Chain A
C-alpha cells in the first residue's frame, strides 16, 4: 500500500547520465509513455470523469425520466438535507458503518494475530477464514436471509432451543440493522484480517524477542509493541472498509430493502431507489454528489495517513 504514498514522488535520481542525446531520447520517451497510457486515460475519461461531471450537472437540474426539464439549483440538495427521510438515511448509513467497523476490525485483528503464529494447518485455516471475502454480496445477502428465516431458519431454531425465544431478525426494526451488520461483517472481516496480517508481518522479530526476554506476555506484547506500531496501518484499514460500507447498495437492497420502517434505509440504497425505482435522476444525482464529497474527504484522510505511515 505504500506504493500509493509515493504517487507524486520525484524522480530526480533518474536524471540522464550522459548529456549526449538526452533531448531526442526524452522526446521519444514522452511519445511512448503517452501511447502506453492512452487506453487507461481514455477509459477513465469516458467511464469515470465524464459521468462524474454529468452527475454534478444533473444534481442541479430538474429531470423527468431521462429528460432534463429545467434548472433546479441547490433545491434538490436542500430537499435531501431537510426532509426527514434524508436524515434517516444519513443516520442509517452512519450506524451501519460504525457498528460494522466496531465488529469487523477487532475480529480481523484477533484472527490476524492468531494467523501470525506458527502452527500446523495454518494455510488451511487462512484459506477458510478468507473465504467469505470472495463470496458475492448477492449470495451473502440471500444466504443470511435464509439463515435468519424466522420459521425454518437454523438460528431461530438454536435460539429457541437455548433460550425459548423466536426473533424475526429482519422484520423488526430493532433487530434489522444489527442483523444486516452481522451479514456484512461475515463477508468483509477477511479484508481487515488480510491487511492487518500483512502489517503484523512487517514488525521486526527482534522487537518482539526483546519484549519476550523482558518477560512480556503475548497480551502485553500485543498492547505495548504491536498495537502502537500498527496504529497507522489500522487507520488505513478502517478508512478502506468504512468507504466500502458507505458505498454498498447490495446488502441493504437484498436483505431488508431499507425496511422495516426505514431502519436500514442507507444513503446508497436511497440513491439507487430514487434513480431506478422512481426515475428521479436529478434528485438521485444530488444525493450521489453528497456521497462523492464524503468519499473525497475520506480518501484525502487516507492519503495523509499513508504518507505518515511510509516514514516509519
Chain B
C-alpha cells in the first residue's frame, strides 16, 4: 500500500506521535483530573456527568486545607527530607570515596555488608524499628525518621558515589597530598567540587524517595503534628469523610514540590536512576 520509502517514513512518524500522545494522556490524566477536582465547588466535584473543566473555578478548597494540618505536614516533610538528603549525601560521599580510593584489610566484606542491606525492604524491619524506637524513646520524632531514612538510602547512594569518584582521575588528589593535604583535606578541597554532578544526582534521588515515603513514616509517627505529607493525606480520608475537593487540593500541594524538583533536575535524576543500584 505504501510503496515509497518517504511515504512509509511519514506514516511511521505520525504513528509514533499518536502513540506518544496517547501514552502522555494516560500519564497525565489522573493528575489533571485531581487538579481539576481541587478547583471545583463541593457540589460540582460530585456532578454527574463529570465536569472536565471546573466552572466556576474556585480556590476555596485550597484555603480550607491551608487552614487544616496541611502546612504543618508540609513543614515536617521539608525538614525531614532536606536533612535526610544532607546526611545521606555526606555519609554516602565519605563511604563511596573510601570504597573508590583506599585499599584496606576487610574491604570486600565490609562493602558487601553495607550493600547487602539494600535488599532488606521496609516492611520487613517495620516491627523491630517500631519496637526499638519505642523502647529507646525516640518514636514520633524527626530524629527517628531522619535516622531511618538516612540508613535506608545510604548504601545505594554510597554505591552511586563510588562510581562517580572512580571516574575522577586519581592524580589530582595525589598531587594535593604531595602538597601536604591530608586524605580528608584532599577529599574536601579537590574531589568534592569535581563530584558535584554526582552529588546532585544523589541528592535528587534521595529527595524524591524520602518526600514520597509513606509506610515507615506512618509506623514511626503517632501524633498529628509529626505527620509528613503522605501520612497526612492518608488521614485526611478518615478525618473528612471523603471531601474530594479538599483531598485533591491537599494532594496537589503535596505533589507540586516533587514535580518541580524533578522537572528542574531531571537529567541528574535519570542519571542517578540508571547508573546506581537504586532502591525502588
Report whether A36 and B98 are in contact in the complex, using a CB–CB cutoff of 8 Å: yes
- The reply to whether A138 and B123 contact each other, CB–CB distance below 8 Å, is no
**What are the residues of chain A within 8 A of B150 when measuring CB–CB?**
43
Complex interface: stretch among A76-84, A124-132, A168-176? A124-132
Instruction: Determine if A128 and B27 form an interchain contact, defined as CB atoms under 8 angstroms apart.
Output: yes
A40's partner among B12, B50, B52, B155 (CB-CB below 8 A) is B155
Residues of B in contact, count (CB < 8 Å): 108
Instruction: Tell me if B's interface is mostly helix, strand, loop or mixed.
Output: helix
Q: Could you tell me if B277 and A1 are in contact, using CB atoms closer than 8 angstroms?
A: yes
Chain A residue, CB-CB nearest to B25: A128
Interface residues of A in 239-259 (CB under 8 A from B): 240-241, 243-244, 246-247, 249-250, 253-254
Report whether A51 and B128 are in contact in the complex, using a CB–CB cutoff of 8 Å: yes
Max count, chain A CB within 10 A of own CB: residue among B105, B125, B162: B125
> B91-122 toward A: CB 8 Å interface, digit per residue (1/0)?
11011011100111101101111111111111
- A192 to B: closest C-beta gap in Å: 10
> A40-B92, A52-B120 in contact; A134/B258 too (CB < 8 A)?
yes
Contact B251 A131 (CB under 8 A): no
The distance from the CB of A265 to the nearest CB of chain B, in whole angstroms, is 14
Contact B115–A191 (Cβ < 8 Å) = no
Q: Are A295 and B104 in contact, CB atoms less than 8 angstroms apart? A: no
CA distance in complex: A284, B150 (Å): 25
A152 & B233 in contact (Cβ 8 Å cutoff) = no
The interface size of chain A toward B, counting residues with CB under 8 Å, comes to: 95
CA distance A119 to B13 in the complex (A): 8
B214 adjacent to A143 (CB under 8 Å): no
Cβ contacts A275-312/B at 8 Å (1 or 0 each): 11000010011001101100110010000000000000
Min distance, Cβ A33 to any Cβ of chain B, angstroms: 4
Contacts of A247 in B (CB 8 A): 121-124
| Docked CA distance A136–B215 (Å) | 11
Closest to B277 in A: A4
Q: How far is the CA of A4 from the CA of B130 in the complex (A)?
A: 31
| CB of A66 closer than 8 Å to a CB of B | yes
CA distance A151 to B48 in the complex (A): 8
CA distance A111 to B111 in the complex (A): 36
0/1 interface trace, chain B 157-195, chain A, CB 8 Å (1 if under): 011101100000000000000000001100100000000
A29 interface residue (CB < 8 Å to B): yes
Given the contacts A14-B103, A292-B124, A40 and B114 also touching, CB distance less than 8 Å = yes
**Cβ–Cβ contact B123 & A271, under 8 A:** yes
> In the complex, A114 Cα to B152 Cα: how many Å?
34
Q: Does A39 contact B (CB under 8 A)?
A: yes
Complex: chain A residue closest to B266, CB-CB:
A127
State in angstroms the CA–CA spacing of A250 and B215 once bound together. Answer: 7
Q: Is B248 an interface residue (CB 8 A)?
A: yes
For B254, the chain A residues whose CB sits under 8 A away are: 136, 139
Question: Contacts of A96 on B, CB cut-off 8 Å?
Answer: none
Whether a CB of chain B sits under 8 angstroms from the CB of A229 is no
B212 interface hit (Cβ, 8 Å): yes
Q: Are B121 and A291 in contact (CB under 8 A)?
A: yes
A117 to B266, CA, bound (A): 19
Known: A4-B115, A7-B115. A146 touches B212 (CB 8 A): no
Q: Chain A nearest CB: distance from B136 CB in Å?
A: 10
Cα of A195 to Cα of B29 in the assembled complex, Å:
24
What residues of chain B lie closer than 8 Å to A110, measured between beta carbons? 19
Q: Are B95 and A130 in contact (CB under 8 A)?
A: no
A102 at the interface (CB under 8 A from B): no
Minimum-distance CB pairs A-B, first 5? A47-B151, A136-B212, A51-B128, A247-B121, A54-B128
Q: Can you report 26 residue pairs joining A to B where beta carbons are below 8 Å apart?
A: A8-B112, A11-B107, A39-B90, A40-B158, A41-B110, A43-B154, A44-B113, A44-B155, A46-B147, A49-B117, A50-B128, A51-B132, A58-B127, A110-B19, A111-B20, A128-B27, A129-B24, A134-B212, A136-B230, A136-B254, A143-B31, A144-B30, A152-B244, A157-B50, A247-B124, A272-B215
Residues of A within 8 A of B (CB): 1, 3-4, 7-8, 11, 14, 26, 28-30, 32-34, 36-37, 39-41, 43-44, 46-52, 54-55, 58, 66, 107, 110-111, 114, 117, 119, 125-132, 134-140, 142-144, 146-147, 151-154, 157, 186, 190-191, 194-195, 198, 218, 240-241, 243-244, 246-247, 249-250, 253-254, 268, 271-272, 275-276, 281, 284-285, 288-289, 291-292, 295-296, 299
